[in-house]
Structure 1
């Protein structure tokens, strides 16, 4: 018998209702429920999985209006070195096609703060758009610094135009990289920093925010940090406390693979430690964290693990599975 723990995200059969070119190399997709019913509710920062083909599943941030449950909107960048996902969206999807969505999930929720500082790089603008709308509705002060390769590659600018000088555009071909020393040089109490974009930008913002109050910075990654998945792979034992199973994780296995081989299913999505779908409670043992999702404080606590990619520093891990 196969046990499922925890419950996985909802599956939503959808129809591609509209495809709109938003900038050079970027298209938005509007997805409607195939059933004709409403889409599941979501909040700013949420993302969904698109099951594009067998073995081809990708995550995209929702960037539409959370109050509109008739459809979802996502923005997709055509990656120059696509691993298959963005190429499929840009080259194969057409209006009327049916597609399976999973979610929504929110690992990037807008927390309560006095004010907000948004930093977006390229397609990283997508989760920021509904956050700005929420700040506007709540009367919260905010500013956005939006960087891109050039103006022509920066999507959704028409939607940002009404916000005036609260939005600073920073095309790299004109100004170079975002001026993070100025933007983040002075820590501000009561300010929440939200950043989404390429890995290099996230790493730089993370470094600059080390002097900021704990919890001020919020990042979302869709690819692992450089070197995060590297390390020596040795054999170790995993005890599934809930299921009463003890198993061995081989050097060439992930914890998820070993657990699923034992008949216990863990919901996963990215399998690279970026989405948080497989987060599992550690009851005993020392995790070898290789994810790009948990904060340094969360990793130090050792309370949870991402079993899709992380391993064990101790000979045995006891997991709440």
Structure 2
């Protein structure tokens, strides 16, 4: 996968345990274009590859702005960013990919939980530039956790910003945005945050009559990593060569293929980035990724996330 060398131009604290990272090119050129909701793979100095949403406005091509939360149970990514990353350090990043894009609509409701604010800030900037009305609700545990305070203080001409603090009794469990009740045709709801948070808001929206096609979500963590290898064994056939691989219960498709010398475009290995999505020609899929929508998982032509999903049938034929 093509990578782009970038330099860490600035680091800044954005609320408790959040660190903003500003990336620029090594030659002063513009960065590849992206749409709001996009993310990039960041190749960190410790050999890890992590996916981070771009928070900056898409029309500002001189930099990418990321924001990384210091996770208590870090698998190495956030710990590296917070403890070892330095201004001036050179990194490699992928070209932006977008599985969480804005849709055409008359109104947009953006609802973020914690660090899930990053792609929604980019969406807010895009809608503001387009003169499109929007409402953004940002849920944090305490006010001190709020990222991008200066941007919220500056305000938006076309959007209303609401910051909710659970410590002050304003949690999503105690009450959800009133705008959920006033949806209409061509309104869209965008959710990003912890899985439980998104599930709670999405369920409330469905009960209020929102069509599922108007509810868009992006997860930034796998809901159950251990579940990726639960289930029986099956076979995977490569459509291009006819080679057949046995995938035992304790292995992922990706790991078996890599061991067999087959190139697999891996990145997150958690079912959240979409890098390894591969079309399936034959067989039934046990989808375990959080990238695809329910409609995509039921489409006539489906894709399987090789890093986490499995087969319901004894054999599947994949387009590799």
TM-score by length of 2: 0.91
1:151 is matched with: 143
2:129 is matched with: 137
2:156 is matched with: 163
Within the candidate set 35, 51, 60, 1:59 is matched to 51
Contact 1:15 1:98 in 2 (8 A): yes
Change in Cα spacing, 1:184 to 1:64, as seen in structure 2 (3 Å) is same
Change in Cα spacing, 1:228 to 1:113, as seen in structure 2 (3 Å) is farther
- In the TM superposition, what is the alpha-carbon distance from 1:242 to its structure 2 partner? 2.1
Contact 1:11 1:102 in 2 (8 A): yes
2:242 is matched with: 244
TM-score by length of 1: 0.91
Q: In 2, distance between residues paired with 1:225 and 1:87?
A: 20
Within the candidate set 169, 190, 194, 2:190 is matched to 194
1:217 is matched with: 215
Q: In 1, distance between residues paired with 2:229 and 2:8?
A: 41
Q: Aligned-residue CA RMSD in angstroms?
A: 2.0
Moved more, 244-253 or 305-314: 244-253
Within the candidate set 253, 260, 263, 1:262 is matched to 260
**1:126-180, Cα deviation, whole Å (9 max, x unpaired):** 1111211211222211101111011111011221232388111101111231222
Q: In 1, distance between residues paired with 2:46 and 2:85?
A: 15
Q: In 1, distance between residues paired with 2:225 and 2:45?
A: 28
Contact 2:109 2:179 in 1 (8 A): no
Within the candidate set 270, 281, 286, 1:283 is matched to 281
Q: In 2, distance between residues paired with 1:151 and 1:217?
A: 27
Q: In 1, distance between residues paired with 2:255 and 2:201?
A: 34
Structure 1 stretches of at least 4 aligned residues deviating more than 4 Å after TM superposition:
none
Q: In 2, distance between residues paired with 1:230 and 1:271?
A: 10
- In the TM superposition, what is the alpha-carbon distance from 1:227 to its structure 2 partner? 7.6
Q: In 1, distance between residues paired with 2:244 and 2:201?
A: 41
Change in Cα spacing, 1:252 to 1:112, as seen in structure 2 (3 Å) is same
Which structure has the higher relative contact order (CA within 8 Å, separation 6+)? Answer: 1
Q: Unaligned regions of 5+ residues in structure 2, if any?
A: none
Q: In 2, distance between residues paired with 1:157 and 1:93?
A: 23
Change in Cα spacing, 1:139 to 1:76, as seen in structure 2 (3 Å) is same
- In the TM superposition, what is the alpha-carbon distance from 1:36 to its structure 2 partner? 3.4
Contact 2:191 2:217 in 1 (8 A): yes
Contact 1:50 1:59 in 2 (8 A): yes
- How do residues 5-44 of structure 1 correspond to structure 2 at under 5 angstroms? 8=1, 10-44=2-36
Moved more, 183-192 or 68-77: 183-192
Contact 1:185 1:208 in 2 (8 A): no
1:3 is matched with: none
Within the candidate set 48, 63, 79, 2:71 is matched to 79
Change in Cα spacing, 1:230 to 1:259, as seen in structure 2 (3 Å) is closer
Counterpart check, 1:306 vs 2:299 = no
